[in-house]
């Protein structure tokens, strides 16, 4: 016959130093961290923005906070705006270069201190 405190007891005893059972992972937390990290990586900022939005939706459905997802959305949105601005500036510069080369013709030309090599 076993007593409640014996090692052969039917119910396990959790002592004062026994860790609590692990809780279920927060939905969207890992995705939020991935989105945050990607939002910091230049051209991948758009992907980080998308992952962070998905993570925030998952977390909100579960009623859990997700600071990484919110930070990823903010940083990803700013990074996306900067990326779009750089693309527009690059397209305008390429258009002006093409127009200048069309006016100058093929060859190497110096105009206003700038060297153009047109083909």
Residue 14 CA: distances (Å) to CA of 21, 106, 115: 11, 84, 79
User: Does the pLDDT at position 14 exceed 60?
Assistant: no
Average pLDDT, rounded, for the chain = 86
User: Look-up: residue for tokens 């969207």?
Assistant: 28
User: Does the pLDDT at position 92 exceed 70?
Assistant: yes
pLDDT at 25: 73
pLDDT at 1: 54
Contact 100, 115 (CB under 8 A): no
pLDDT tens digit sequence for 59-72: 999 999 999 999 99
The percentage of residues in the chain with a pLDDT greater than 90, rounded to a whole number, is 58
Instruction: Label residue 11 by pLDDT band (50, 70, 90).
Output: low
pLDDT at 26: 78
CB atoms within 10 A of CB 35: 29
pLDDT tens digit sequence for 95-117: 999 998 998 889 998 888 888 88
Q: Is the pTM of this model over 0.75?
A: no
């Amino acid at each position: 016959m076993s007593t409640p405190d014996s090692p052969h007891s039917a119910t396990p005893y959790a002592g004062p130093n026994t860790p609590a059972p692990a809780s279920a992972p927060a939905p969207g937390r890992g995705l939020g961290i991935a989105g945050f990290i990607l939002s910091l990586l230049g051209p991948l900022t758009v992907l980080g923005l998308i992952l962070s939005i998905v993570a925030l939706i998952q977390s909100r459905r579960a009623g859990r906070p997700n600071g990484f997802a919110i930070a990823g959305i903010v940083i990803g949105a700013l990074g996306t705006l900067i990326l779009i601005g750089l693309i527009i500036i690059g397209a305008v510069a390429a258009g002006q270069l093409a127009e200048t080369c069309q006016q100058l013709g093929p060859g190497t030309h110096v105009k206003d201190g700038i060297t153009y090599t047109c083909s």
